[in-house]
Structure 1
Amino acid sequence: MWDRESLDESILSSLRALVASQEDVDYIEIRLEYNESTNLETLNDHVRHQAHVVEIGGNVRVFHQGAVGFVHFDGWDDLPRHINDAKLLAKWENSSSFPWGSQDSPAPADPVYSVQRLVTLENPLKVPLEDKIHLLLGYAELAHITHPLVKSVTGRYFDRYRHLWFADNRGSAIEQEKLDLGGNIVVMARNSNGTAQRGVSFGSSNDFGVLRNLDDQIKDAARSAVALLDAPEVEGGEYTVVVDPYLAGVFAHEAFGHLSEADGQVGDEGLLEQMVLGRKFGPPNLHIYDTGKDMGSRGYLPFDDEGVPAQDVDLIKDGVLVGRLHSRETAAHLGERPTGNARALHYRFPPIVRMRNTVIAPGDTAFADLFQGIKRGIYAKGTHGGQTNGELFTFLAAEAYLIEDGKITRPVRNAVLTGNVFSTLQQITAIGNDFTRYEGGGGCGKAGQMPLPVSHHAPSLRIERCVVGGRGR
């Protein structure tokens, strides 16, 4: 019986000894987890949903002679039986069932022994539930007071504490405490023209304080939602577009970051040919990278779920494609180095290649100069969502404004930005110096694992010949 009261190195030592004794397989790893989470949802002046959940469990993953066995379990009882089950799966599994045929044993990585304790600015686990509710309801009241056309305010908050133990038979043993928190306040306005909404999103890996002092942002969201009610629909066409740091970061994550995940490239010769290292992908000052080192970001990840330390991974440097994101498995298949991007949402899932914090490095163009010379264009802020299909993308801007004679003028509605990520990267003609760390309350989805905490940091971008859907298209 594994006792959660014994939160010390004895668990890690026991796991190390257990995996070291498994000499009849090529590779084995064990992950144990203790998860504790709180979820809140409010509507106007009342709580619509609240929950507090504790989960204890783990998993075993085994690689042997080109096949893999993965077993997850609730509770910490009978680890030897779970290990045996994973071994049997690996030895019986038909390797032809895998996406790219026979599975490669994970690429070598330097053995790591580490204990990572939680360090917070304000720990949400020590904030009473009543205080969290009070903040959400207070913001709703503020939005309603700001303008009478505000008709509903929805608040969402969550925090999740994870305590993890990892060991493999190549010498790594890691204990980590992790924290993730976030949410949003969505303000909806309505008049005879219909409805419009704007939101304030927040997130952190170490500070409940991000939920405090949002009054000015809530007021701005209420005013913006009301202003959009009477805004005309954008006229569809091709525009020079300036996107704010939030939308630029979403673009980097959704349209380009997912293409950089190596498990999507392995087995897809067409995509591998498009994502060939050394290909020119943008202007000489374009630098996009992924990192797990930004403490406080939701994508902060000292070690991934295969025991690989955090590192910066350049994807585009000086406008040229120079890297991709790897697990130890995909790194072995392509003969490259692991990058620390193997992540699992929960102990019920195996680690797969995922982004952490996707970053566009700042440029040297002042914000006002991004608009110079634009006779008629679009300034797009934020996003209400979108979708990608391979290299094609579609994003609905949360706010959009006409640019006329180099100045931001009036709001427009339903500005949908569409295009091909490869050509759009080439059409970036200016990168702002207004680099912004954005931490939202959403998450990334892939292979049934959602919402995984991620971040995106970026400056504003100027993009030429961008197709904007709207009236007349």
Structure 2
Amino acid sequence: MEKMIKNALKLAKADYAEVRVHEGVSTGVTYVGKELEGIGEKSSFGGCVRALVNGGWGFVAFNDIEHLPKYIEMACEQAKFVGKNKSQLSPIPILNDHTKTTVVNDPAEISLKEKQSLCDKYNTIILSSKQIQTSNVRYLDSRGTVFFSNTEGSFIAQETIFCGISLLAMARDGMNVQQAYHSVGDLRGYNNVLNMEQECEKVAKRAVDQLSAKPVNGGKYTVIIDPKLCGVFVHEAFGHLSEADFVYENAQLREIMVLGKRFGSDALSIVDDGTLVGEAGYNKYDSEGTPTQKTYLIKNGILTNRLHSRETAAKMNEKPTGNARAISYGNEPIVRMTNTFMEPRNDTFEKMLSEVDDGIYAIGALGGQTNMEMFTFSAEEAYMIRNGQLKEKVRDVVLTGNVFETLMNIDAIGNDLEIYGGMGGCGKGGQSPLRVSDGGPHVRIRNVVIGGR
């Protein structure tokens, strides 16, 4: 493989060219309600060529590597048609490396029947509650190797083993329909999905309990968010604004995201770290062969960095961060997050809670959307806080606001960092779901707008 790709790249008539080849196999099991909706194994093989000529990119995807010289020629010709400026790529080391993944319990050694039986057991537990109308249990594992080589002389092979499962319960009482969800997924192996019987019971109970929860009264509240919701907020509301391709192409955002500008108190630090072995967003190298790293986006309240590909780093006169990622061989690398989280500090959840007279404790996230600096997130479940204590459960809790104002309104950061992977992944530029992780500790925020009655 290495000799074939390197020899073919010698034919590239371009300022720069690279080849990625993906090969892998995956297993999936899906239950919807009582029915086994899908089960099977599939393998995949394909690759792509990306060529840069006078600042313009050409891209060709393929499934038959024996015609690689032809595809390199096609990509170079495409690039010549669109190239009109000087090619700019930030320099990176020339590397020769083969990374292998080892896990304690390899999903490849578990039979498809055993995986199906596990999903059936979890599904049966969820459906055992009388008020659960339907369920969804989805299992996925995948093993793959990505081979990367470029005209600068690098050749990298990276193996990845992913395993995860998602559990969903939907409860109904007349027209009142509520749901609860739990998902795990990372690079630690099959043990990740075992012994989840209690989680199945909790998912079903949360969905049923939501039926009796009263809709929250809308208004401004002091809100404590749990580590999972903190991670979603950090990723969706702030992380995407730190992706340099988005910043470079948006004049309004460039005026806002000025390095050195204060975005929060000294206690606030937000990190993207692709080097966290075992987490869903881990890679030793990104899709351009750049080593991943720990990047402080905000450090001690100050905007310090953004996430880069080689091209955005060169155009913005900054350093590459190892964040150019492609979801498959059929896609070009774009700037993406890896494992993104808020760093913990010293406050305990109990202390944060005790200092709130009238507020809301928001747990998890069912979904949300962002538009530039504005965000809207729906909490999976929530409780009212009265005189420093958790009280009645409430539902339909929707957090809305401006991310920069919200960061400045954080007045307590917990000591209980948690990082979550899962089956969902990240979507951007038509590439979804990309495996990522996000997280943080418990965080207290003042003056949060809560939608409701």
Task: Name 1:322's counterpart in structure 2.
Answer: 304
2:268–2:299: 8 Å Cα contact kept in structure 1? yes
The separation in 2 between residues aligned to 1:239 and 1:214, in whole angstroms, is 35
Task: Name 1:157's counterpart in structure 2.
Answer: 139
Task: Name 1:394's counterpart in structure 2.
Answer: 376
Among all aligned residue pairs of Structure 1 and Structure 2, give the percentage whose two residues are the same amino acid: 40
Q: Report the residue type matching 1:56 in the other structure.
A: F
Deviation at 1:23, TM superposition (A): 6.2
Q: Report the residue type matching 1:58 in the other structure.
A: G
Residue by residue, what CA displacement relative to the aligned partner does 1:169-215 show, whole Å, maximum 9, x if unpaired? Answer: 11211011112232311011222361211112110113111111111
Q: Report the residue type matching 2:120 in the other structure.
A: L
**Equivalent of 1:26, from 15, 21, 24?**
15
The separation in 2 between residues aligned to 1:218 and 1:226, in whole angstroms, is 13
The separation in 2 between residues aligned to 1:151 and 1:267, in whole angstroms, is 46
Task: Name 2:118's counterpart in structure 1.
Answer: 135
**Equivalent of 1:229, from 202, 208, 211?**
211
Task: Name 1:256's counterpart in structure 2.
Answer: 238
Residue by residue, what CA displacement relative to the aligned partner does 1:277-326 show, whole Å, maximum 9, x if unpaired? Answer: 00101111111110111111110111100001121011000011000000
1:393–1:421: 8 Å Cα contact kept in structure 2? yes
What SS does the corresponding residue of 1:285 show, helix, strand or coil?
coil
2:53–2:87: 8 Å Cα contact kept in structure 1? no
What SS does the corresponding residue of 1:77 show, helix, strand or coil?
helix
Q: Could you tell me which runs of 5 or more consecutive residues in structure 2 were left unpaired when the two chains were aligned.
A: none
Task: Name 1:123's counterpart in structure 2.
Answer: 106
The separation in 2 between residues aligned to 1:324 and 1:403, in whole angstroms, is 36
**Equivalent of 2:277, from 282, 295, 318?**
295
C-alpha distance 209-110 of structure 1, shift in aligned 2 (>3 A)? same
Superposition TM-score, scaled by structure 2 size: 0.97
1:234–1:412: 8 Å Cα contact kept in structure 2? yes
**Equivalent of 2:158, from 176, 183, 186?**
176
The separation in 2 between residues aligned to 1:23 and 1:73, in whole angstroms, is 17
Residue by residue, what CA displacement relative to the aligned partner does 1:79-122 show, whole Å, maximum 9, x if unpaired? Answer: 11001101111112255xxxxxx474321101111001121121
Between Structure 1 and Structure 2, how many residues are aligned? 453
Residue by residue, what CA displacement relative to the aligned partner does 1:314-350 show, whole Å, maximum 9, x if unpaired? Answer: 1000011000000011111111111000000010101
In the alignment, structure 1 residue 405 sits paired with structure 2 residue 387 = yes
Q: Could you tell me which runs of 5 or more consecutive residues in structure 1 were left unpaired when the two chains were aligned.
A: 1-10, 96-101
The separation in 1 between residues aligned to 2:88 and 2:67, in whole angstroms, is 26
Runs of 4+ more than 4 Å apart: none
The separation in 2 between residues aligned to 1:257 and 1:180, in whole angstroms, is 23
**Equivalent of 2:68, from 57, 64, 79?**
79
Q: Report the residue type matching 1:121 in the other structure.
A: V
Q: Which moved more, 1:147-156 or 1:224-233?
A: 147-156
2:366–2:378: 8 Å Cα contact kept in structure 1? yes
1:56–1:76: 8 Å Cα contact kept in structure 2? no
The separation in 1 between residues aligned to 2:225 and 2:57, in whole angstroms, is 44
Q: Report the residue type matching 1:13 in the other structure.
A: K
The separation in 1 between residues aligned to 2:354 and 2:335, in whole angstroms, is 40
2:20–2:147: 8 Å Cα contact kept in structure 1? yes
Q: Report the residue type matching 1:267 in the other structure.
A: E
Q: Which moved more, 1:35-44 or 1:231-240?
A: 35-44
In the alignment, structure 1 residue 16 sits paired with structure 2 residue 16 = no
What SS does the corresponding residue of 1:61 show, helix, strand or coil?
strand
1:40–1:157: 8 Å Cα contact kept in structure 2? yes
Task: Name 1:56's counterpart in structure 2.
Answer: 45
Task: Name 1:219's counterpart in structure 2.
Answer: 201
Deviation at 1:448, TM superposition (A): 0.7
Q: Report the residue type matching 2:135 in the other structure.
A: V
Superposition TM-score, scaled by structure 1 size: 0.93
User: Over aligned residues, Cα RMSD in angstroms?
Assistant: 1.4
Q: Report the residue type matching 2:184 in the other structure.
A: F
Task: Name 2:251's counterpart in structure 1.
Answer: 269
2:12–2:72: 8 Å Cα contact kept in structure 1? no
The separation in 2 between residues aligned to 1:163 and 1:216, in whole angstroms, is 34
The separation in 1 between residues aligned to 2:409 and 2:29, in whole angstroms, is 42
2:162–2:189: 8 Å Cα contact kept in structure 1? no
1:331–1:338: 8 Å Cα contact kept in structure 2? yes
**Equivalent of 2:95, from 90, 96, 112?**
112
What SS does the corresponding residue of 1:178 show, helix, strand or coil?
strand
In the alignment, structure 1 residue 43 sits paired with structure 2 residue 18 = no
In the alignment, structure 1 residue 337 sits paired with structure 2 residue 326 = no
What SS does the corresponding residue of 1:401 show, helix, strand or coil?
strand
